[in-house]
């Protein structure tokens, strides 16, 4: 399934790397597209939305 999140404090490529690694720690096969300009993160994963959202939060980011 494809999930979309708005991450207001996603500011740069380092932030994208951090969020990507946090999600891949949960689902190694997840496909992640993150854009610091639009603050959007799109995740194609088999994991639940709540698990992915928590991974982003645990990495230090806010999910709107």
The pLDDT tens digits for 12-45 are 999 999 999 999 999 999 999 999 999 999 999 9
Q: How confident is the model at residue 48 (pLDDT cuts 50, 70, 90)?
A: very high
Q: What is the pLDDT of residue 58?
A: 98
CATH topology of domain 2-58: Alpha-Beta Plaits (3.30.70)
The residue ranges of every structural domain in the chain are 2-58
Contact yes or no for 19/36 (Cβ under 8 A): no
Q: What is the pLDDT of residue 22?
A: 98
Q: What is the pLDDT of residue 39?
A: 98
- pTM score above 0.75: yes
């Amino acid at each position: 399934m494809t999930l979309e999140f708005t991450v207001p404090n996603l500011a740069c490529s380092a932030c994208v790397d951090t969020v990507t690694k946090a999600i891949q720690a949960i689902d190694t096969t997840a496909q992640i597209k993150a854009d610091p300009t639009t603050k959007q993160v799109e995740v194609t994963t088999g994991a639940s939305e709540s698990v992915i959202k928590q991974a982003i939060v645990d990495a230090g980011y806010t999910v709107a």
